[in-house]
Chain A
Amino acid sequence: MDYPYNIIFAGVGGQGNVIAGRVLAKAVQLEELRPVVGETFGASRRGGSVFTHIRVWDKDASPLVPKGTLNLLIGLEPIESLRASVKFAGSDTIAILSKTPIYSSNVHRGTEHYPDVERIVAIHQKICMKVIAIDTDKILRSIDAFRSLNVLLIGVMAGMRISPLSIDSIRAALINVLGSSEKNLEAFDIGVSQTTQ
C-alpha cells in the first residue's frame, strides 16, 4: 500500500463511535494490516462532537487523517458528518451517513436552527465523491435495535466492499469486540443487504 486507507467515524458522545473504531481496528488486524486509531473530542460530556480516525496501512500511520485524504466517512449524525467532511473530505471520499439528527442544546432551546437533513445530504454530495444516506431510524426501529446504529453503518460499509476490509473480517471483528449479540448481528446483516441487494 503506497498510502494509508483512511476512515473516520463522526458522531456525538454516546453513539458508540469509539467502539465502532475498535471493531474496524480488529478487522484491520484480521486482514493482517496495521491499524492506528485516533480520537478527537474536547471535554466531551454526553452530546459532544467525537471523531474516530482509523488508519489502515501495512505500517503504523500517524494517529490523525491528513486533510483531503479521507477515503471513507461514516457519519453517525448528519451535522457531525458534515463537520468531518468539511475538515477531511477529498476527491476520493465516500460518505455513508445516518439521516437521523441529534439536536444540540441550542436547537432544543430554539436559539439555533438545525438544517434540513436532505439539505445536509445534498451538501455532502457536493464535496464527496459518493454519498449513501440511510434512514437509520426507520431501519433500527423495525428491528427494535436503537443502540446498533454504529453496527448498521459498519454493515453498509462492509456490503459496499470499498475498503481493504472484507465482510468476513468485519463480521468476525464485530463478534470479537462486541460479542455475538443477536441485535448487533441483525443490524449488521441489514446494513450489508442495503447495498448488496
Chain B
Amino acid sequence: METVFYCFIFGMVSSVTMDSGLKSEQLMSGNIAFARGSISAGIGFCTGYPGTPSTEIIETLMLYQSKTNNIIEWAVNEKVALEAAAGASWMGIPSVCVMKSLGLNVASDFLLNLNLSGTGTGGLVIIVCDDPKGHSSSNEQDSRFYAKAANIPLLEPSTPQEAYDVMDFALKLSQDFQIPVLIRSTTRLSHSSALVKTENISSGKWIAHQNLPKGLYNVPHPDLRHLDLLGRIEKIREQFNSFTLNTIPIDWNDIVIISTGVCQKYVEEAQLYIEEAVSLLGLVTTFPLPDKLVRQALEEAKTIIFFEETDSFVEDEFRAIASTQDHTCRIEGKRTNLVPAHGEMNVDVVLESLREFVTLMKQPTMPEGIHDAEKHLISRPLTFCAGCTHRNVFYALSRVRKRLKGNLIVTGDIGCYSLGVFYNDVLESMQAMGSGIGTASGIGQLSKFGLESKVVSVAGDSTFFHACIPALIDARHHNADLTFLILNNATTAMTGFQSHPGSMKIGEMKHMVRIPDIVQSIKPDVFTRIDSTDVSQLTDLIYSTIKESGLKVLLLDGVCRLEEKRRQKQGDASRIIVKSELCRGTDCKICVRDYGCTAITWNKQTEKAEILQYQCVRCGSCISVCPHGAIEEE
C-alpha cells in the first residue's frame, strides 16, 4: 500500500477538503463517500483498525475531526474497535466501526453476542471492506456471510454516491431496531472515484446517557433472544421490499440479471454490448433478501442470472426463497458454474458469462500479436524499499539459517515484513494477525517429539499490539523454546502510517504503551533490544540468542524509510559507494543477489555492483554485507 496508497489518500482527501462546503458534485472515492456520509448521518464515534481497502474511511473522518468535534480513533484491533463502538452506541452515541474483510473475523466473536443483546439507542454501523482477488489481502473472503451468521441487516452500495447515501439509512435502521447494521464494500468501490452530491459538513452535538441500557447479556435464555432477533429481521425484510436504493426494472424482460454492489455497474455497462433487452434488478439490501422482490422476479422472468462478488450469497438466499414457491424460472449463476466463484468481476467476465444467453453486438477487438507481446513482459515483484530495515532482519536470518545448516524455522505475520516470504523464502508462514507467534508457540514445544530445529517468529509493532500478546503469554506459560523478533518501526507502515499504542507520535490525551514494558512483564528468559541497521551485529545477535534455550524476545528497532521521507527528514550522512577495484564482480554478487537492496544495481558493462544514488537512503547497512569491503562511505 505504502507510497501509492499514501498519494492516493492525500490526493483524494485534499481535494475534497478544498471543495467542501459547496453543494456541487465532487469526485470522491467510495471510502471518502462512506466517511462523508457518516458525518452527514451524524455519527459521534468512529473506530477501527487500518487495513486495505478500508483505511481511508477513518483517515478521512480524522481530517474533518476539528470541524465535526466527534471521536475518531484507531483501535488496537478490530474486536476492541467493535466493542468500543458498541459501548458508545449503548450510551446513546451514534457509532461507526470500520475494518477490512479479515478484521471482521477478529471482531466476529463479539458481533455474534451483540446481535442478540442489541446496540442500545445510539446506533451502530459496521463497514467491512472486502478484497475480491486479494489484491492487498491474504484471502478473498466474502464477509457477507457474517450478516447471515449474526442475523443482522446487510447493505451493499454500488457507487460512491450510494456509499454516501446509504450511511444515513443504515444508522437510522440500527437505531430503530437496536441492531448492528453491516455495510459491505469491495476494493473496487472503496478505491474508485466518481462524482458525489454531498451536504455541508457541520458539527454535531452528542450527549451520553448516564446509565447502560437493561439486559446487555443473553443468558439465561439466548434462544429467546435469538427468537426476538428473528422477529426483528423479518420486519427489516419488509422494509427492504420498498427500499429506494434498490434498482427495480421498469420493464421486466425475459432475462433478468440480479446483481449487487459494484457488479451492478459492470452489468449496466455490459448492456452496451448486448443486442437483446435484458432487465437489471440491482440490490443494495442483500440480507435479509426482500422477499416480495424475489417473488416478483420469479413471476416476471424466464431466466434469472446472478452477478455478485465473490461467493454465491444472494444467489443462495434467492434460491432458498424460490424453493418455497411454484415457478418455472431458470436460475443461473455461480451454482450452475456459469459465473466464476473466485476472483474479481468486471464487464468482460459478465459478457463472457452471458454469451450463451444473449447476442453480443460490438465485440471489443483484441489486436493480433498480443500473445507475442505478452512474452516480452518482465515481472515486477514486490520488494522492500531501499534501506528498509526489515530487509536487514531477513538477510540476517538467511545467514543464520546457513550457519544452522538449514535447521531454522521462521513463522511470520501480517505487515510489510510479510514480504519476507518473497525474500529468498526466509519467511515460511504468513496467516492471520498474530499467528506467527501463536503457531511458533506450538512448534516450540515439539522437542519432546524430536524437533531439533530452532524456532523463530517475526512480527511488527502494530501487529504485536493487535494480536501477539496472548500468544506470547501462551508461549511463556508453556515454556515454548522459541525466539520472537519484534520488528519495531513505531508505526503501522503497511497501511500508511497510522498510530498505534506504541507509536512515537502520540496525540494529545493519549498515553503511549511501551513494548519493552509489556514484554518484560511476561518475563522471557532473554530480552534484548538493538538497532537493526548494522547487519553483521544483527546476524551475530540473532545467532547467539536462538542458540540459548527458552523464550527469547528481541526488540529490533528499525526505520520505515517511507515514513522518514514523509516527514521530510533529510539525513546529512555521506554517500555510499562501491569501490570498483575491490568489488569481486560476477564471482560474488552477494550485495545484489542475496541482500538485494533496490538501491544497489548490477552494471553489465563493468560487471560490478553500483549504488543508485537517487534511491539510496545512505543508511550504510550494505557496508557490512560486502565480504570484500568494497562498499563504503564516501
Contacts and interface: CB of A to CB of B under 8 A. Distances in A.
A86 B194 contact: no
B584 interface: no
Interface in B111-145: 135-136
Contacts of B25: 29
A64 B381 contact: no
A136 interface: no
B2 A46 contact: yes
Contacts of B1: 43-45
A62 B349 CA distance: 13
B626 to A, nearest CB: 15
B347 interface: yes
B365 A126 contact: no
Interface residues of B, number: 68
A62 B266 contact: yes
A35 B11 contact: no
A47 B135 contact: no
Interface in B153-173: 159
A138 interface: no
B243 interface: no
B376 A120 contact: yes
Given A25-B193, A177-B15, A114 B378 contact: yes
A62 B348 CA distance: 12
Given A25-B27, A109-B593, A127-B369, A44 B348 contact: no
Given A18-B4, A37-B192, A108-B601, A128 B380 contact: no
Interface residues of A, number: 70
Interface string B6-43: 01100110010000000001010000000000000000
Contacts of B379: 104, 106, 112
A112 B25 CA distance: 47
A166 to B, nearest CB: 19
B346 interface: yes
Where chain A touches its partner, the secondary structure class is mixed
A126 B364 contact: no
Contacts of A110: 589, 592-593, 602, 604
A5 B478 CA distance: 63
Contacts of A120: 376
A35 B3 contact: no
A113 B368 CA distance: 25
Contacts of A82: 373, 376-377
A137 B265 CA distance: 39
Interface string B264-279: 0110110010000000
Nearest to B10: A19
A145 B386 CA distance: 23
B552 interface: no
Interface string A50-69: 10000000001111101111
A143 to B, nearest CB: 17
B453 interface: no
Interface string A107-143: 1111111110001100100111000000000000000
Given A25-B27, A89-B370, 5 more contacts: A22-B12, A86-B374, A106-B379, A109-B602, A126-B369
Interface of B: 1-5, 7-8, 11-12, 15, 25, 27, 52, 135-136, 159, 188, 191-195, 262, 265-266, 268-269, 272, 346-348, 351, 363-370, 372-374, 376-386, 416, 419, 494, 562, 589, 592-593, 596, 598, 600-602, 604, 612
